[in-house]
């Protein structure tokens, strides 16, 4: 597996701002790291700051108790599509704003935001296999409090060509989050096995992995599940044959 070392400017800027602790000596999640004092600073220069790729790689190692396993029989030296937050899908509001816009702020129970994201790629038998990690936070609004929240996360691989965009692969993931107090709660999800046929290098360069909140897609999915299954038509009975002879 190989991390792609290139990010589009907008995504790179967003992720650098979202990933805390980008200064030297910080841990993967922005916390202080322990270092051994050096008596002579001139003789021993300080260690280099961890790169953005190092922070992304650490995401998968420490984001959850069940660390993802490496993909078996994976092809090495694979370029990963860029990752970005879908425009207009960076914030989740529960409940959504009232239709007339009245008391919008006071009606807010919870607000969801993204904190950081990462992706990793491998090629197996002509298929690009991805795992995408997302960390976010649920903030409690004026009308909210401790309770259960379902976060509708959409991950979509899109081919963004000049003649138009095309969805290559997409998944809607529902993440249950328990909010224990009014200080808010973090959530983490790692989606594995997102796969699609490996395109040519030129076409792969146009691929983007978008993440975003998709409450509309979740509501439509719920409606589809609630629709009654149409009853099957009874088979016509065979007509009796006339006796011969």
Give bridge partners of residue 178 from the DSSP assignment.
148
In the chain, % of residues over pLDDT 90: 45
CA distances to 31, 37, 170, 237, 238 from 27, in Å: 5, 17, 32, 74, 76
- Whether pTM > 0.95 for this model: the answer is no
Rounded to the nearest 5 degrees, what angle is found at the Cα of 71, between the Cα atoms of 13 and 22? 25
Candidate ranges 42-46, 64-68, 163-167; pick with highest mean pLDDT: 163-167
Q: Report yes or no: 54 and 48 within 8 Å, Cβ to Cβ.
A: no
Provide Rg for the chain, Cα atoms: 24
Dmax over CA atoms of the chain, in Å, equals 117
Q: What mean pLDDT comes out for the span 218-236?
A: 80
Is the pLDDT reported for residue 224 higher than 50? yes
Q: Which of 34-43, 69-78, 134-143, 172-181 has the lowest mean pLDDT?
A: 34-43
DSSP element (H, E) containing 175: strand 164-179
Is the pLDDT reported for residue 151 higher than 60? yes
- 42 or 103: which leads in pLDDT: 103
Looking up tokens 């401790």, which residue turns up?
Answer: 146
Q: How far apart are CA 30 and CA 22, in angstroms?
A: 7
- 232 or 73: which leads in pLDDT: 232
Q: Report yes or no: 194 and 169 within 8 Å, Cβ to Cβ.
A: yes
Q: What are the tens digits of pLDDT across the range 91-140? A: 999 987 677 666 777 888 999 999 999 999 999 999 999 999 999 999 99
Q: How far apart are CA 94 and CA 131, in angstroms?
A: 28
Is the pLDDT reported for residue 160 higher than 60? yes
Confidence (pLDDT) at 51: 44
Confidence (pLDDT) at 79: 83
Is the pLDDT reported for residue 143 higher than 60? yes
Confidence (pLDDT) at 74: 55
Share the mean pLDDT of the chain.
Answer: 74
CA distances to 5, 237, 241 from 234, in Å: 61, 9, 21
């Amino acid at each position: 597996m190989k991390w792609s070392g290139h990010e589009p400017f907008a995504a790179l800027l967003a992720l650098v701002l979202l990933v805390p602790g980008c200064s030297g000596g910080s841990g993967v999640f922005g916390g202080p790291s322990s270092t051994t004092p050096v008596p002579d600073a001139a003789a021993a220069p300080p260690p280099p700051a961890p790169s953005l790729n190092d922070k992304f790689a650490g995401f998968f190692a420490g984001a959850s108790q069940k660390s993802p396993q490496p993909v078996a029989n994976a092809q090495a030296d694979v370029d990963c599509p860029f990752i970005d937050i879908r425009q207009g899908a960076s914030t989740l509001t529960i409940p959504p704003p009232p239709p007339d816009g009245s008391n919008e702020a006071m009606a807010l129970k919870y607000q969801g935001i993204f904190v950081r994201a990462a992706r990793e790629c491998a090629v197996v038998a002509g298929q690009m296999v991805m795992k995408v990690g997302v960390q976010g936070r649920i903030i409690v609004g004026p009308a909210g409090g401790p309770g259960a929240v379902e976060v509708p996360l959409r991950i979509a691989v899109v081919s963004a060509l000049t003649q138009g965009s095309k969805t290559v692969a997409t998944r809607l993931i529902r993440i249950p989050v328990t909010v224990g107090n009014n200080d808010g709660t973090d959530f983490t999800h790692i989606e594995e096995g997102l796969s699609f046929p490996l395109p040519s290098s030129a076409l792969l360069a146009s691929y983007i992995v978008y993440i975003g909140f998709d409450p509309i897609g979740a509501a439509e999915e719920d409606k589809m599940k609630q629709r009654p299954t149409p009853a099957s038509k009874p088979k016509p009975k065979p007509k009796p044959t006339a006796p011969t002879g």
